[in-house]
């Protein structure tokens, strides 16, 4: 999998592979062996970077993850590259009187958060998709009345597959 | 004097803990007092007995003289140890103890009174033949008088409140115009802070070192010198890192220095532990500053090189017993440094910080002593000093001590409030510090907040850690943008935290 990491305004892509027992991170063309191990006392990890030992605390901050090491805290933003795809699909579904919410990625439809006849506000969560062991909440962009749920819960879905239809709310 | 069996510690934090440790080793009952926010403080947990003073603000608790004395009488304390700060240099409190028939572990109240007045202390030094910084013989009445004296001594000058101390109530002036503007301001501040607007003038030494003599005086008339401490690295006249011996001293200087300190102590009939503070100029001349009539924050470095327990010596002196070592104090061995671990943000003008200690792991190992007043989960109260812990190390020589300090600072984990551990590491690693070239202007000359920015390696490790953490956790993407949010934030669905305590 891939993640975008933003530190001090600079975007970097981190890609993860496993090679046997070893986790490999690719970062700016370099391959780094990482051993990331949660310690018993909380949000603290032992991180071995190519064998070099670090102790880091990762805790959610206001805008980003706060990473503390050597007594200094650095805020790091982590984002998913799929957001690019999401934005594109969102644009596609915006056209038309109603709205069709589509799955932005291949995965499993865990559940709907709404049922037929519900009134949905803009930005409201309508479904949960699980992909790459992560649960992702899908929201309606414009909102409206739910007219159709198109897929069975616990079913596999492909990228771009329509999941539910909304009718533009009157007014 | 009857033996001391029960001692009330009129203090809190790391110094209360440090004192009660000695008391317990001496089989003396240690009695803590506490304010409401200190109900779960370490000194309460470790003391044999503990009694409530009152609400958080110092004047309602640790500075409530009647309350402290009432408790001391009620619980039949033989003596009160004031620590430092609070009542430590309060001659009224010392006298009230005496009147209540409770021994005050410190000098006689008349000595505290005499030395608490800077001008009287300076006069005592002059009488004892100890060099003082050229300046006014007494308080200055008028600005004209100050101008005339400034002309005689020469700029730069220090304008100081007679009743000041601890770096408060003083101002450097470089020109006649600055003297005129500082005159009213300093007097006004002195009146507001100390209720006494008398000021005096001294020649300012541009890059002085701060050196001080630890002395002990017992009731048999013995006064001994336990070596010098150098405490030059300061911010806003507050010490940050202290060491003994001083890298600026040689044997001859030390001898003259110790003799001068003992002469002052003898001249005022000093009793108990005390510190005579001096300024050292670039030419190796030292000038008397003041006497601190109490145990100092930095006393552990002296303990590390002498092997003595200064609190135990204080108790002996108060009991009327002679010093434990007779006439000749143990010869100091090796080198010791102390880094004050403070809840403050060095990157933001050393602003104090409070909060809960989320996680702490103290350094250990050879030559390391850590005098702490905190533990994991403790909420640092807003009312008191921000000193959390004193990290003290010992080494055979200065370089070994410095390396050991760096090693121990690396081991020190403290999370929750902001703190100065990274700053102390910067300081101990600085080439000028390593070379022993110190002055009270060290930070002004060398420190810029951006120097504490994480290294390239640390930045990369942080980046990897954040990515790895995100991968470990189950993520939720709030997909959309329908609510006008341009960049949808990731929301972290943390299994461990679900339904539990949330962070503010």
Q: What is the pLDDT of residue A78?
A: 86
Residues 378-437 of B with CB under 8 A from A: 410, 412-415, 419, 421-422, 425
CA distance A126 to chain B (A): 10
Distance CA B218, CA B283 (A): 34
Q: What is the pLDDT of residue B493?
A: 35
pLDDT in tens, B153-208: 889 999 988 887 656 678 889 999 999 988 988 888 888 878 888 898 988 888 99
Query: B306 near B226, Cβ under 8 Å?
Result: yes
Average pLDDT on B362-371 reads 98
Work out the pLDDT band at A88, boundaries 50, 70, 90: low
More confident residue, B248 or B495: B248
**Residue B391 pLDDT > 90, yes or no?**
yes
Q: Across the strands, what pairs with B370?
A: B391
**Residue B467 pLDDT > 70, yes or no?**
yes
More confident residue, A7 or A85: A7
Tokens found for residue A129: 């998709």
Q: What is the pLDDT of residue A90?
A: 53
Nearest residue of B to residue A67, measured between CA atoms:
B462
Give the residue among B337, B207, B324 at the shortest CA–CA distance from B273: B324
**Residue A41 pLDDT > 80, yes or no?**
no
B358, B452, B466 ranked by CB distance to A78: nearest: B466
Average pLDDT on B228-244 reads 95
Among A19-23, A156-160, B480-484, whose mean pLDDT is lowest? B480-484
pLDDT in tens, B274-326: 999 999 998 899 999 999 999 999 999 999 999 999 999 999 999 999 999 99
Q: What is the pLDDT of residue A95?
A: 47
**Residue B371 pLDDT > 90, yes or no?**
yes
More confident residue, B479 or B217: B217
A49, A63, A86 ranked by CB distance to B479: nearest: A86
Work out the pLDDT band at B485, boundaries 50, 70, 90: very low
3-state SS assignment for residue A19: strand
Average pLDDT on B5-21 reads 98
**Residue B477 pLDDT > 60, yes or no?**
no
Q: Across the strands, what pairs with A15?
A: A2, A26
CA distance B460 to chain A (A): 9
Work out the pLDDT band at B394, boundaries 50, 70, 90: very high
Average pLDDT on A127-154 reads 84
Q: Quote the radius of gyration of chain A (alpha carbons, Å).
A: 20
Q: What is the pLDDT of residue B501?
A: 38
Average pLDDT on B364-389 reads 95
Cβ contacts (< 8 Å) between A63 and chain B: which residues?
489
**Residue B431 pLDDT > 90, yes or no?**
yes
Active site residue B294: yes
φ/ψ of residue A130, rounded to 5? -105, 125
Chain B interface, best mutation among A70, A99, A126, A141, by max B CB count within 10 A: A70
Q: What is the pLDDT of residue A86?
A: 59
Using alpha carbons, list the distances in angstroms from residue B15 to A141, B136, B475: 60, 36, 46
Rounded mean pLDDT of chain B?
90
Q: How far apart are the first and last CA of chain A?
A: 43
φ/ψ of residue B117, rounded to 5? -85, 115
Q: What is the pLDDT of residue B490?
A: 43
Q: What is the pLDDT of residue B488?
A: 36
Query: B433 near B439, Cβ under 8 Å?
Result: no
**Residue A118 pLDDT > 50, yes or no?**
yes
Work out the pLDDT band at B475, boundaries 50, 70, 90: very low
Query: B90 near B106, Cβ under 8 Å?
Result: no
Work out the pLDDT band at B494, boundaries 50, 70, 90: very low
SS3 track for B101-170: CCEECCCCHHHHHHHHCHHHHHHHHHHCCCCECCECCCCCCCHHHHHHHHHHHCCCEEEEEEEEECCEEE
More confident residue, B83 or B453: B83
A44, A125, A136 ranked by CB distance to B359: nearest: A44
Cβ contacts (< 8 Å) between A59 and chain B: which residues?
503
- Give the list of residues 6+ apart from residue A10 with CB closer than 8 angstroms, or none: none
**pTM as predicted:** 0.78
Average pLDDT on B6-16 reads 98
Q: What is the pLDDT of residue B489?
A: 40
Residues 92-131 of B with CB under 8 A from A: none
Annotated active-site residue in B12, B171, B294, B316? B294
CA distance A78 to chain B (A): 6
Q: What is the pLDDT of residue A139?
A: 84
Residues 435-494 of B with CB under 8 A from A: 452-454, 458-472, 474-483, 485, 487-494
Rounded mean pLDDT of chain A?
83
Distance CA B121, CA B115 (A): 5
**Residue B479 pLDDT > 60, yes or no?**
no
pLDDT in tens, B330-356: 999 999 999 999 999 998 888 888 889
**Residue B499 pLDDT > 60, yes or no?**
no
More confident residue, A160 or B112: B112
More confident residue, B165 or B421: B421
Q: What is the pLDDT of residue B481?
A: 35
Q: What is the pLDDT of residue B484?
A: 35
pLDDT in tens, A51-68: 899 999 998 877 788 999
Please tell me whether the interface predicted TM-score (ipTM) of this complex is above 0.90: no
CA distance A105 to chain B (A): 11
């Amino acid at each position: 999998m891939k993640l975008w990491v933003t530190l001090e305004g600079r975007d970097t892509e981190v890609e993860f592979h496993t090679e046997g027992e070893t986790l490999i991170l690719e970062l700016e063309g370099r391959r780094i062996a990482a051993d990331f191990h949660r310690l018993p006392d909380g949000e603290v990890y032992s991180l071995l970077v190519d064998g070099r030992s670090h102790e880091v605390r990762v805790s959610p901050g206001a805008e980003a993850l706060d990473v503390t090491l050597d007594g200094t805290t650095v805020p790091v933003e982590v984002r998913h590259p799929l957001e690019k795809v999401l934005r594109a699909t969102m644009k596609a579904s915006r056209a038309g009187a109603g709205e069709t919410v589509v799955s932005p990625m291949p995965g499993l439809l865990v559940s709907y958060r709404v049922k037929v006849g519900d009134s949905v506000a803009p930005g409201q969560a309508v479904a949960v998709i699980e992909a790459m062991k992560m649960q992702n909440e899908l929201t309606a962009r414009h909102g409206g009345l739910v007219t159709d749920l198109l897929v069975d819960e616990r079913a596999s879905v492909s990228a771009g597959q329509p999941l539910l239809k909304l009718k533009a709310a009157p007014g | 004097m009857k033996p001391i069996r029960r001692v009330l510690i009129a203090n809190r934090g790391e110094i209360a803990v440090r004192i009660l440790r000695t008391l317990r080793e001496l089989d003396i009952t240690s009695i803590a007092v506490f304010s409401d926010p200190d109900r779960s403080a370490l000194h309460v947990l470790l003391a044999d007995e503990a009694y409530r003073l009152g609400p958080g603000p110092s004047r309602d608790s640790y500075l409530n003289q009647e309350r402290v004395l009432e408790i001391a009488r009620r619980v039949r304390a033989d003596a009160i140890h004031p620590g430092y700060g609070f009542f430590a240099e309060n001659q009224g409190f010392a006298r009230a103890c005496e009147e209540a028939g409770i021994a005050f572990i410190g000098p006689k109240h008349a000595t505290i009174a005499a030395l608490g007045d800077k001008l009287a202390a300076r006069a005592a030094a002059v009488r004892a033949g100890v060099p003082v910084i050229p300046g006014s013989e007494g308080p200055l009445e008028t600005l004209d008088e100050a101008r005339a004296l400034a002309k005689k001594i020469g700029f730069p000058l220090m304008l100081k409140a007679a009743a000041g101390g601890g770096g408060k109530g003083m101002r450097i002036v470089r020109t006649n115009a600055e003297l005129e503007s500082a005159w009213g301001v300093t007097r006004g501040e002195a009146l507001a802070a100390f209720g006494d607007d008398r000021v005096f003038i001294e020649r300012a030494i541009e890059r002085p070192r701060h050196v001080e003599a630890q002395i002990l005086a017992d009731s048999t008339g013995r006064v001994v010198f336990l070596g010098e401490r150098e405490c030059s690295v300061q911010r806003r006249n507050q010490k940050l890192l202290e060491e003994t011996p001083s890298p600026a001293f040689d044997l001859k200087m030390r001898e003259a220095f110790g003799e001068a300190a003992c002469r002052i102590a003898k001249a005022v009939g000093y009793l108990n532990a005390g510190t005579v503070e001096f300024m050292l100029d670039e030419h190796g001349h030292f000038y008397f500053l003041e006497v601190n009539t109490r145990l100092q924050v930095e006393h552990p470095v002296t303990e590390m090189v002498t092997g003595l327990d200064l609190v135990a010596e204080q108790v002996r002196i108060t009991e009327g017993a002679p010093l434990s070592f007779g006439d000749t104090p143990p010869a100091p061995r090796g080198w010791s440094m102390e880094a004050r671990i403070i809840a403050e943000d060095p990157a933001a003008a050393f602003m104090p910080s409070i909060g809960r200690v989320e996680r702490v792991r103290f350094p250990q190992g050879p030559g390391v002593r850590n005098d702490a007043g905190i533990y994991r989960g403790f909420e640092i109260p807003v009312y008191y000093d921000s000193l959390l812990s004193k990290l003290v190390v010992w080494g055979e020589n200065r370089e070994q001590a410095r390396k050991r300090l760096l090693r121990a600072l690396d081991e020190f984990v403290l999370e929750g409030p902001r703190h100065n551990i990274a700053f102390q590491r910067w300081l101990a690693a600085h080439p000028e510090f390593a070379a022993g070239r110190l002055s009270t202007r060290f930070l002004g000359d060398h420190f810029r907040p951006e120097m504490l920015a994480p290294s390239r390696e640390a930045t990369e490790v942080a980046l990897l850690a954040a990515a790895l953490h995100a991968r470990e956790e189950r993520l939720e993407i709030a997909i959309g943008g329908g609510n006008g949010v341009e960049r949808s934030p990731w929301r972290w669905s943390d299994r461990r935290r679900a339904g539990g305590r949330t962070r503010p």
